Chains A and B, each alone.
Chain A
């Protein structure tokens, strides 16, 4: 590990699964998603964030110290801090109603509430049309991830879902 970190580890997470990468409609643009502006990359002193092949910011949890600077610089306001031990994360920030969110991205959260229904811990809720996980309650089982009809919730370890 490049920097000394305090356990339990925390890191930034970019709540966007790849912007409009999967949209069938080429012109459709998600106004909530990552725009690849690199503000976060510039802000990070630790080289813990980069723009990936999909054109969106991605955090290297090994390097990230959860200082939150990237989050303050993000013009889309879609970066937040999570506990690394909670490897199930929502990778979408689209606050539009289901139909509109669906139209601009194939991996968007449409606020259908399936995750809420299958969560045994009451740890995930749809807030403003997008799923949000409460770290303190989450049991990291991934039931929400495997039942999400949109693939908007992922297992960052890449076991229960793909890594992206």
Chain B
């Protein structure tokens, strides 16, 4: 028996379990997030006897006599203090790490009311954040210290919700205080738990599945296999190629394939039952790499295919071959980039049940509720499904594909009982699609002034076990490989290969993170060869308004690459003059899906009985701040007050499908749809009606971002409605070789909320510092990923350099109030900038990420 105090209340328990499970499952203190249960992430941090502890570590039997505090146990003053400080600093994005960070803040300030920046970083360093890059969390702690000392909470720096203002995000309080619900925070009454038995081998034929012993285990509610699927077994984000449950007689594709689904009264019983399922396999040779996939006679990942080629792109404009042949300066090199894990803080989770309409109702954490709906409807062979987005604890592309939602839906369909299905962190690392590993050969030809004459390239990607978004990622890698420069001769050939590795798919940057590394590195080498600075070669080649991109698109007035180059110049020049090793990289990234694919934003503004405007859009806010963007748009374009507006999370029965949160598209595409709905509402208001008069009325806005398909027979195709541009600079400390400062200037058209923009930039930069310097995702000979969450190499709070985020506003885009999405580009130019800085440091060129020979050892 163990007796301890939780938030001032004495508790006694006889059961030995982790403190995390006790606080969540027994006391339902859901501010304590389960991000890994391995001691890595810190999302479950609590204060025990005045110091921080990750609550997944100690078991209840060790806690006799201890005093435990969670966010729920803070005083009202503290709650107000941390909500204000985190909101004012812009420290909250997806929010999953935040209650843990708040606990670290409190523990620090209770002991040290006036901490230095280093002390703050150390107080936070055992907790990971994947969204913010820690910059604004550190600022929040500083601010909290200041306010705590002053003893009174000031007014917010702005309460003006018009576009362009740095308002606190609308979901700060629920995320800081932990009462906002992610799917795992929903505990339906009488819930069951589900877990999947995954394939033992990456490539094998399932010969038989015997579930009889598992079914007989007391507490097991159902054990489901392929035969229990009423509709289509095969689903997938674009191509329906992935078995929900692998049937007898069919091939497994990777170790994450589910063979059977266990539904039971507790997770312990689920795990026990999984061990009782007998599966016979015929083990077959697996495909481990691009090399193996393309070898003659290679085993086929999809046995009905003729080869392991998943997608192929050939893009050519002008005559790159001839241009390079005639160029006075030519450089050719081979480049490689690694697999990367998204490492969002919230592992995949969902809760589902049968609602009063008899529909399967799914609380989901994903990047498109409507996509989840369509796939679940297909799987169940019924339209009777609803999906509601709960809070989403980070996505970065990794939550575009379904992982648990369909399995939970299947469980509810059969058992008619509520179910919770979560991936363990180990499963999450295995199951969801990763960033593609790329190998690339690039050749660039330039004239004596450093003007690019032509680029030719061949790239190959390992797209793993399933198509996922491998095709579009390859395509974007190819279309953007030319870089944000004005030249006419460009040719690239790209091939994505299936292997039996975990699938690869969408990841912030969407293929451009890979090819940009090659192009920008070549440009740095070329600058040296020609004898001009890496800044100068970019400035000379930069695309300018009404110039023509190598894809033929004529760019508009909003094109701000030059402005980003000019914005970093003083910092660049100063560092060069000071003799510091400096590197630079540029990038462009589309906002919106583009290339002729229908891409529609839809928003409904409904005036509800509370006489407020409720914003409904089937567009996921995954931590990037879409809700705040839409509310600011409504204030701007209707003239209503913030208090008259309610943002509703995405659902599938009332909120219209507004596409996946992908391709940096929501601020632009859904933003424009929102503005169109606002215009209609404004008309009604201008006609003399009040919100009270309009109760029950709906105002609908729709925007189709129209583009031309690749290879369209027009002289200057519009591939994308907008591009964001960026320049990033990396400055090293010459002595230590560590990154001293990152300067990131981003052209965003119009910053709806500059505070949020900065947060995106800082987070993207730190994420890609990991990509450039340390993170990888090794896979062993059994196609099994080796790393745990804590050993991925993610950057920690005490390791980040000073990050200077520069938001460049440049009007010219005639939709969405001029706002261009910023989600992905923040991560793109970082790696080549860092790589160049290290070349300046030690004279070694590096062609493979993560780069070696730096102080950032894994």
Contact = CB atoms under 8 A, between A and B. Distances in A.
Interface of A: 7-8, 85, 118-123, 136-137, 139-143, 146, 157, 159-161
Given A120-B791, A123-B790, A160-B53, 9 more contacts: A8-B118, A85-B125, A120-B40, A137-B791, A140-B126, A141-B39, A142-B39, A142-B58, A146-B57
Contacts of A8: 118, 122, 798
A139 B40 contact: yes
B351 to A, nearest CB: 26
A142 B791 contact: no
Contacts of A119: 39, 790
A142 B40 contact: no
Nearest to A145: B57
B57 A120 contact: no
Contacts of B798: 8
B789 A159 contact: no
Contacts of B788: 120-122
Given A120-B36, A141-B126, A159 B119 contact: no
B791 A121 contact: yes
Contact of A160 (B42, B62, B857): B62
B507 to A, nearest CB: 22
Interface string B586-621: 000000000000000000000000000000000000
B790 A122 contact: yes
Given A7-B118, A121-B788, A139 B39 contact: yes
Determine chain A's interface SS by DSSP, over half rule.
loop
A163 B119 CA distance: 24
B39 A120 contact: yes
A141 B57 contact: yes
21 contacts: A7-B119, A85-B122, A119-B39, A120-B791, A121-B40, A121-B790, A122-B791, A136-B857, A139-B40, A139-B42, A139-B126, A141-B40, A141-B56, A141-B57, A141-B126, A141-B790, A142-B39, A142-B53, A143-B39, A146-B62, A160-B53
A118 B857 CA distance: 21
Interface centre among B38, B39, B59, B788 (most CB of A within 10 A): B39
Contact of A159 (B39, B49, B118): B49
Contacts of A142: 39, 53-54, 57-58
A160 B57 contact: yes
Contacts of B57: 141-143, 146, 160
B48 to A, nearest CB: 5
Interface string B3-47: 000000000000000000000000000000000101110100000
Given A7-B118, A85-B125, A120-B789, A160 B39 contact: no
B186 interface: no
Determine chain B's interface SS by DSSP, over half rule.
loop
Interface residues of B, number: 29
Q: What 7 A-B pairs are tightest by C-beta distance, nearest first?
A: A141-B39, A120-B790, A121-B790, A143-B39, A120-B40, A122-B791, A120-B38
B139 interface: no
Contacts of A146: 57-59, 62
A88 B487 CA distance: 57
Given A8-B122, A122-B788, A159-B48, A143 B38 contact: yes
B605 to A, nearest CB: 46
Contacts of A122: 787-788, 790-791
Nearest to B117: A7
A22 B145 CA distance: 45
A83 to B, nearest CB: 9
B240 interface: no
A159 B53 contact: yes
A160 B61 CA distance: 11
A136 B126 CA distance: 11
A139 B53 contact: no
Contacts of A143: 38-39, 57
Contacts of A139: 39-40, 42, 126, 790
Given A119-B790, A120-B788, A141 B66 contact: no
B116 interface: yes
B51 interface: yes
A85 to B, nearest CB: 5
A123 to B, nearest CB: 8
B293 to A, nearest CB: 29
Nearest to A162: B62
Contacts of B125: 85
B122 A159 contact: no
Contacts of B53: 142, 159-160
Contacts of A118: 38-39
B59 to A, nearest CB: 7
A12 B38 CA distance: 28
Contacts of B39: 118-120, 139, 141-143
Contacts of A160: 53, 57-58, 62
B51 A157 contact: yes
Contacts of B118: 7-8
Contacts of A141: 38-40, 54, 56-57, 126, 790
A66 B672 CA distance: 60
Contacts of A136: 857
Contacts of A161: 62
A8 B125 CA distance: 12
Contacts of B36: 120
Interface string B368-388: 000000000000000000000
A121 B793 CA distance: 9
Interface string B49-92: 10101101111001000100000000000000000000000000
Contacts of A157: 51
Contacts of A121: 40, 788, 790-791
A7 B789 contact: no
A46 B188 CA distance: 59
